[in-house]
């Protein structure tokens, strides 16, 4: 997708534009995508999102927790507008923080897409979904690359986690935050 941005840049640089107003009108319908493209290029190059001025950001807030079975998810927004999620695994006595928008999005994608016999090899996480040799039961194991902590879940627990994250991130108070972060990180 970044190459599409390069192509647009070259076309605008090299082509003779007789009517700038007409060009602006033509591109107006694509401004959202063009902004995302620019933000994505910024993220790739700088490894930081395009941020709105500080005075436009909301104050820090902790959102209402969601829970299903032994799992609880609490989302919070920091002063700088960053989203953080705490996954509490009550039956294990563990709180597992997910700290950046790209990390949260990859975690959710991993929950949704990892299936039997597959390996997840992402930027932030690695995971496998293999049948246990003794019981033939599917076990899903994931590890965040930065800390190396391994968690193992049954298929039922994994699906429960997936549903919990889908429900949590679909909540109206999080939608606006996720939409803003999607723009800032240039998610295409």
Rounded to a whole number of angstroms, the distance between the first and last alpha carbons of the chain is: 8
Q: Between 180 and 104, whose confidence is greater?
A: 104
Q: Which of 29-38, 73-82, 85-94, 157-166 has the lowest mean pLDDT?
A: 29-38
Whole-prediction pTM: 0.76
Instruction: Supply the DSSP symbol for 59.
Output: P
Q: What is the CATH code for 58-185?
A: 3.30.2450
Question: Residue 1 pLDDT more than 60?
Answer: no
Over the stretch 87-140, which tens digit does the pLDDT of each residue have? 999 999 999 999 889 999 999 999 999 988 899 999 999 999 987 766 678 899
- Give how far the C-alpha of residue 41 lies from the chain's centroid of Cα atoms, to the nearest Å: 17
Alpha helices per DSSP H over 15-100 = 20-28, 31-46
Tally Cβ neighbours within 10 Å of residue 77.
Answer: 21
Q: Is 57 helix (H, G, I), strand (E, B) or coil?
A: coil
Of the candidates 132, 186, 127, the one whose C-alpha atom is nearest the C-alpha of residue 162 is 127
Instruction: Please report which confidence band the pLDDT of residue 2 belongs to, taking 50, 70 and 90 as the band edges.
Output: low
Task: Supply the pLDDT for residue 30.
Answer: 76
109: which 2 tokens? 């994608």
Residue boundaries of the structural domains of the chain: 2-48, 58-185
Tally Cβ neighbours within 10 Å of residue 172.
Answer: 6
Task: Supply the pLDDT for residue 87.
Answer: 96
């Amino acid at each position: 997708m970044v190459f599409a941005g390069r192509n647009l840049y070259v076309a605008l640089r090299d082509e003779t534009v007789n009517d700038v107003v007409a060009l602006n009108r033509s591109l107006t319908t694509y401004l959202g995508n063009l902004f995302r493209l620019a933000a994505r290029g910024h993220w790739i190059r700088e490894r930081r999102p395009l941020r709105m001025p500080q005075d436009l950001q909301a104050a820090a807030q902790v959102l209402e927790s969601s829970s299903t079975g032994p799992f609880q998810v609490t989302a919070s927004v920091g002063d700088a507008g960053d989203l953080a999620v705490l996954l509490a695994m009550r039956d294990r006595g563990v709180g597992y923080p997910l700290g950046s928008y790209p990390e949260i999005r990859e975690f959710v994608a991993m929950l949704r897409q990892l299936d039997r016999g597959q390996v997840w090899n992402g930027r932030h996480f690695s995971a496998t979904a293999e049948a246990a040799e003794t019981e033939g039961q599917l076990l899903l194991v994931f590890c965040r690359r930065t800390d190396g902590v391994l968690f193992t879940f049954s298929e039922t627990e994994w699906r429960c986690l997936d549903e919990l994250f889908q429900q949590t991130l679909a909540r109206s108070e999080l939608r606006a935050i996720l939409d803003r972060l999607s723009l800032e990180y240039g998610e295409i």
